Structure 1
C-alpha cells in the first residue's frame, strides 16, 4: 500500500446522518522521498528512469491491488487509501481504519500481536475494556502479501460518535508482510455484504441498520483529489447522501452479486473506441482499492494504448510531457459514459525537481461466476460521488463537486 490517507474524524449529526471526514496522508513514496531514500531506491530498481529510456515489454505477471482474499500482492499499489477514526471498548480506544467497500470484516491489531506491523500501530487492549466479550474463535484473512490471523471478540464501537453495541471484530495477532508495516492506518472496517465476511456476525453497517442508528440503509463517499493541508479532504456519510457534494442526476446501477458491491459494466473505451469488455462485464465499486484494475491481458493492452511503461517496482510510468496528447478512457455504466482524461487517471509525484507520472491502471485477476471482474477504485471514485444503498441493493454515481478543478469528469448518456 504505497499511499495511505491520514486520519481525521469530525462529527456532524442531523437526522441520523453521520459524517466522517477523511484526509489524505503521505504515500510510502513520499516517506522515502522525505527520508532521502527514494532516489536510491528507484535508481536501484529502475535505473533507466533517470535517462528517459523506457522498456517496451511488459512483465510476465502483475501483483494485485485488492485489499481482500485474492492471491495477488497489494502493498505496492495502494496509492490513494482513505481512512478515519473509530473507537472500541469502554473507555474508548482509538484506531484509524480504512473504510473498505471491498471487504466486510472489522479488525484492529491486538496487544498480543507479535508482528512488526503491530508494534508500529495502536493495539487493542481487551483487558482494559469493561464491555469486551471474548468469543474464543480464531479467524484468518488472506492477502496477496501473506495472511492475517487473530481472535474474535465483541465490544462497543463508535464511529463519529455513533455507537454500535456488541460489534463482532477481529484482534489480529499475526500480520506478516510489509503492507501493514508501512501503512498509516491500524486496521480495516469492511462495508461489503455479509457473505464476504470471514468473521462470523454482522458487519458494522448491518448492525447500524439493525440497531436503527442510521436514518436510511445508505452510505456514501466523497473522495477528494489532489492534496491540501489543514482541512479534511473526503467524507463518508452514514445514513444518506449529501447533495452539496455532487452535481447532476444520480445514475443507479443494480447490484448483480451480493458480496462485493458488484455491478454490470457495459464496456470500456479508449478515445471513443470500445476496446474492452464490448459485450459487457462485471465490476466492483471498491473504496479499498487505489487504482482502476482489470484482467491482466486487457490492462496490459490499455497500458500500451496510453503509453505507459512498466517498472521493476510494480508501477507503470508515463512521460509527463505527453499528458495532453494521451487518449481519454471511458467506462460505460448503465448506458452512461464516465470519461476520464489523462490528468485524472495519471498520478503525479515529485522526486526532487523531477516530476514522475504513474498510470492509474493496474492488472489484477479476480474470477467470478459472471466472469473476470474489473475494479473501480479510488482513481475512479475521486471523480464521482458514490452511493451504496443496502435497502435497494444498488450503487449510485454522480459527478463529484471539487472545490478546485482544472479538468472535470465527463458523464454523458449514450
Structure 2
C-alpha cells in the first residue's frame, strides 16, 4: 500500500488533483486573553475537558493551543468561514444569521437567503465538544474546501453556542471522522468529496508545522512527501468511528509508565494536548518531574526542559518518541507539559503535540492511519 501510494504521489497528473489546505499558526486566543488580563479568570470559568467531545490545500491557524483552523466557503455566491479541521468529530457547522449567543457576535455568520443554492432542512442539531457545545439546524449547500466544490453538503447552522467559542478565532468546525459518529447521521464533507470524485484517493493527510504561519496544511486526496522523512508506519483502526488505534504502552527511559498491557488511542487534530486517563497522566507527570497546578496542568521548570526525558508511545509494535522540546509548551511566564487529564475513561487522545512530530495520513478505504516522522 505504501509503495503504491508513493508512486501515485510522484505523478504530476495526480499532484494537480490533490487539494491542499495550508495551515497557519498565528496569535492564539490565550495570548489575546493574557494581554487583557483575562486568561486566569477564563481558565477558572471554562476548564478544558477534552474527553467530553466523545458524545487540495488550505492554511490553518493555531488557536488557543487547542486546534488548527483553515478557510472554506459555503453557498453561491460564496460566504467565507474559518473552521477547525477536526479528526475527532464528523459534522461541519458554522454560525448562522439566527445565532443569538454572544459567541457568534465576533464571528462570520451564514445568511441562507443570500445563497441561491441553499436548501432548508427541518432537522435540529446539537453537538457537544470538550469545551462546550452548539445547537441549531441543518441545511444543504455547496461547500468549497481547498478548491474542491462539494455539492449538496449537509451542514449545521448554529443558533446557540457555548461561551468557549467567544475567544476562539475559528468560526466553526469541520469534522473529519467517520459518519458512524456524525450527529443526525450526516454524511461528512470528506465522504462527499470521495463520492463526488473530487479527490483521486480516499485519503487525507495532516502536517502541523511550527511557528511558520505558512507551513501547516491538510492535503485531501493523498499525502505530501515533502512533509515527512523515512518510512510510513501503517496502523490498522480498531474502530471506524474516531481514527482509533491500539496503543501498546507509554514509556519513559524504556520503562512503561502508563497504558500497561495496552489501551486505545485516537489520532485527533482537534485536541491540542496528549490526553489520557487521570491515573496514567499523573504517573507520567510524576516521572517527568511535573507538578499539577490548580488548573490541572502539568507545570514544569523552564530551566529543566533540556534535561527532561523523551516520552515514547508504542503503536502497533512501533515506537513513536516525543522529545521534551516538543511536549513542553512554553509561554512568556510558564512552562507546562503537553499532557492532559481525561478522567476515568480509558481512552488516550494523541493530539497536536503528537501530530506536530509525526505526519499523519488517514486512509478511509483501508481503515488505517499512516505515521511518519515530520520533516
- Any unmatched runs of 5+ in structure 1? 1-12, 47-61, 71-76, 402-414
Partner of 1:362: 340
Partner of 2:5: none
The alignment status of 1:347 with 2:329, answered yes or no, reads yes
The alignment status of 1:197 with 2:159, answered yes or no, reads no
Q: Distance in 1 between matches of 2:179 and 2:226?
A: 31
Q: Distance in 1 between matches of 2:215 and 2:184?
A: 31
Partner of 1:212: 197
Q: Distance in 2 between matches of 1:103 and 1:31?
A: 27
Change (3 A) 1:144 1:101: closer
The alignment status of 1:241 with 2:229, answered yes or no, reads no
1:204-229 alpha-carbon deviations (Å, 9 max, x no partner): 0000000000000000001012x23x
Partner of 1:389: 363
Partner of 1:101: 87
Structure 1 contact 151–170 (Cα < 8 Å) conserved = yes
Matches within 5 A, 1:12-411: 14-35=15-36, 37=37, 42=40, 63-66=48-51, 68-70=53-55, 79-177=65-163, 179-225=164-210, 227-228=211-212, 231-351=213-333, 356-365=334-343, 367=345, 372-401=346-375
Q: How much has 1:144 moved relative to structure 2?
A: 4.3
Q: How much has 1:199 moved relative to structure 2?
A: 3.4
Q: Distance in 1 between matches of 2:374 and 2:357?
A: 6
Partner of 1:3: none
Q: Distance in 2 between matches of 1:93 and 1:258?
A: 32
Structure 1 stretches of 4+ with a deviation exceeding 4 A read: 41-46
1:336-364 alpha-carbon deviations (Å, 9 max, x no partner): 1111111111011014xxxx211100011
Structure 1 contact 251–398 (Cα < 8 Å) conserved = yes
Q: How much has 1:44 moved relative to structure 2?
A: 11
Q: Distance in 1 between matches of 2:289 and 2:280?
A: 14
Structure 2 contact 296–341 (Cα < 8 Å) conserved = no
- Any unmatched runs of 5+ in structure 2? 1-13, 56-62
Structure 1 contact 78–289 (Cα < 8 Å) conserved = no
1:47-95 alpha-carbon deviations (Å, 9 max, x no partner): xxxxxxxxxxxxxxx842247245xxxxxx9514211000000000000
Helix, strand or coil: the match of 1:350?
coil
What RMSD, in angstroms, separates the aligned Cα atoms of the two structures?
A: 2.2
Structure 1 range deviating more: 239-248 or 275-284: 275-284
Structure 2 contact 52–131 (Cα < 8 Å) conserved = no
Q: Distance in 1 between matches of 2:233 and 2:54?
A: 29
Structure 1 contact 67–103 (Cα < 8 Å) conserved = no
Structure 1 contact 105–199 (Cα < 8 Å) conserved = no
1:160-213 alpha-carbon deviations (Å, 9 max, x no partner): 211000000000000023x10000000000000001100333100000000000
Q: How much has 1:278 moved relative to structure 2?
A: 2.4
Q: Distance in 2 between matches of 1:103 and 1:189?
A: 8
Change (3 A) 1:332 1:69: closer
Q: Distance in 1 between matches of 2:137 and 2:189?
A: 17
Structure 2 contact 312–319 (Cα < 8 Å) conserved = yes
Helix, strand or coil: the match of 1:199?
helix
